[in-house]
């Protein structure tokens, strides 16, 4: 089930990128994207195409968010809820006895040779 939702999620993501790239830019970025809107009486006018692309973008975005939430819930559903502190080993209440004689490293003497 998770694989099917993941594949649908990827298809929606690719479609969303495609639909966003098909939309005409409204900014004046280097003068691109502003020519030939509805000239010639084609299948759809410029405004109708913009409405369809806007609606499609909204539907794909809502679907993308929904599949993201579903995948997140499915990924977290098999886990135990608890703290990492619950997994820590128990600490003994009695202090451990120190070693009999502490070891101290002996200083080394070095003669500088000229």
The confidence score (pLDDT) of residue 16 equals 96
Residue 8 predicted with pLDDT over 50: yes
pLDDT tens digits, 19-55: 999 887 766 554 455 555 444 445 566 777 778 888 9
Q: What percent of the chain clears pLDDT 70, i.e. is strictly above it? A: 64
- Of the candidates 67, 46, 57, the one whose C-alpha atom is nearest the C-alpha of residue 3 is 67
Rg (Cα) of the chain, in Å, rounded?
A: 34
12, with CB counted inside 10 A (0-12, 13-18, 19+), is: buried
63, with CB counted inside 10 A (0-12, 13-18, 19+), is: middle
Q: Where are the domains of the chain?
A: 1-11+46-73
Determine if residue 37 is left, alpha or beta; phi over 0 gives left, psi from -120 to 50 gives alpha, anything else beta.
alpha
What is the pTM for the complete model shown?
A: 0.56
The confidence score (pLDDT) of residue 38 equals 47
């Amino acid at each position: 089930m998770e694989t099917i939702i993941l594949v649908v999620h990827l298809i929606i993501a690719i479609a969303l990128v495609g639909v966003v790239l098909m939309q005409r830019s409204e900014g004046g970025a280097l003068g691109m994207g502003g020519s030939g809107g509805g000239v010639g009486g084609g299948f759809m006018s410029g405004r109708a195409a913009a409405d369809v692309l806007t609606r499609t973008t909204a539907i794909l975005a809502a679907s993308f968010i929904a599949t993201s939430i579903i995948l997140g819930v499915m990924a977290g559903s098999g886990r135990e809820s608890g703290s990492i502190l619950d997994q820590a080993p128990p600490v003994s209440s009695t202090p451990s006895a120190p070693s009999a004689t502490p070891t101290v490293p002996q200083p080394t003497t070095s003669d500088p040779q000229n």
